[in-house]
Amino acid sequence: MKFNIIKKGEIFINEDYKDLFSNNLTFEDIWNFKNLKFFRKKRYKIIETYDFKNKKIFIKKYLSYPEEAQKEWKNILFLWRKNFFTLIPVFFALSRDNRAIIGTEEVGGICFVNALKNKSLEISFFISKIAEFLAKFHKAKLFHQDCYLNHFYYDEKEDKIIIIDVSRIKHKPVLEFYYQIKDLAQLKFSFSVYLENKAEKFWDIFIKEYFRINETKYNKKLFFKILNLKTYMIKRHTERVIARGEEI
């Protein structure tokens, strides 16, 4: 799927949303948009929402690290071109003083965490869908680098997994094995966080489905040793961050 991105003033806009903005719009105009509703603040980002024609737009305001917003915008457009479902882009802009702002539509599917909490979907089914998605994602030489269960949504209407938080995605990196292991280790760690005593059972469902589609070319015994070591390292790092009182 491709989006027609146009420019109005200093803003790059999905043409489907051109009526949301006037001509010659400045960065400050959009930064100070009226009728925004606060959602949350996370480190250097403020996240707000805006209602437009029965749709909710999520707006991330970057107080610093504008390159992260720029990468996310580019990766969103890139993933749609590669036929992977992700956030629907609305607008993007950079300022001259190290700020950035990006708008995306609210995700239409159900988040894994909510499905788990509300028991709205069979968890083994959801896990299998994530495995299928990630196996195809890796076969396309795409690696997420922030691969946790809370970043996966399922669209029942389209029967598709939607992935979010895509600013760190790499395509065709030199060390593919490293990034494959990193994605799987992050995911395995998040199984222990969200699924607790059922983590091993559901991980077994995941990895069997993953390897059915994307069979490893590496020695499996060595592959799992490295994967388990990386998962342990992620766990230890997360524990140290939490112990310091820092936000994950």
Same domain as 118, residue 59? no
pLDDT grade, residue 245 (50/70/90)?
low
Q: How many domains is the chain built from? A: 2
What are residue 14's phi and psi, to 5 degrees?
-65, 125
Q: Which two tokens stand for residue 88?
A: 């629907």
pLDDT at 247 over 70: no
Q: Return the HEC string of the chain.
A: CCCCEEEECCEEEEHHHHHHCCCCCCHHHHHCCCCCEEEEEECCEEEEEEEECCEEEEEEEECCCHHHHHHHHHHHHHHHHCCCECCCEEEEEECCCCCEEEEEECCCCEEHHHHHHHCCCCHHHHHHHHHHHHHHHHHCCEECCCCCHHHEEEECCCCEEEECCCCCCEECCCCHHHHHHHHHHHHHHHHHHHHHHHHHHHHHHHHHHHHHHCCCCCCHHHHHHHHHHHHHHHHHHHHHHHHCCCCC
Same domain as 32, residue 74? yes
Q: What average pLDDT does this structure show over 205-218? A: 90
CATH number of the structural domain spanning residue 224: 1.10.510.10
For 140-196, what is each residue's pLDDT tens digit? Answer: 999 999 999 999 999 999 999 999 999 999 999 999 999 999 999 999 999 999 999
Domain closes at, from 52, 77, 105: 105
Instruction: Give residues with Cβ within 8 angstroms of 18, minimum separation 6.
Output: 6, 8
Same domain as 117, residue 99? no
Residue 248 lies in a domain: no
Q: Are 105 and 57 in contact, with CB atoms under 8 Å apart?
A: yes
Same domain as 231, residue 126? yes
For 7-43, what is each residue's pLDDT tens digit? Answer: 888 889 999 888 877 777 788 988 998 889 999 998 8
pTM above threshold 0.75:
yes
Q: How far apart are CA 40 and CA 56, in angstroms?
A: 15
Same domain as 136, residue 200? yes
Query: Which residues span the domain enclosing 187?
Result: 110-243
pLDDT grade, residue 207 (50/70/90)?
very high
Find, among 93, 102, 96, 104, the residue nearest to 10 by Cα.
Answer: 93
Instruction: Report the interhelical angle of 176-195 vs 220-243 (nearest 10°).
Output: 60
pLDDT at 86 over 70: yes
Question: Across all residues in the chain, what is the average pLDDT?
Answer: 92
Same domain as 144, residue 239? yes
Same domain as 150, residue 91? no
pLDDT grade, residue 248 (50/70/90)?
low
For 110-143, what is each residue's pLDDT tens digit? Answer: 999 999 988 878 999 999 999 999 999 999 999 9
Q: How far apart are CA 137 and CA 147, in angstroms?
A: 12
pLDDT grade, residue 246 (50/70/90)?
low
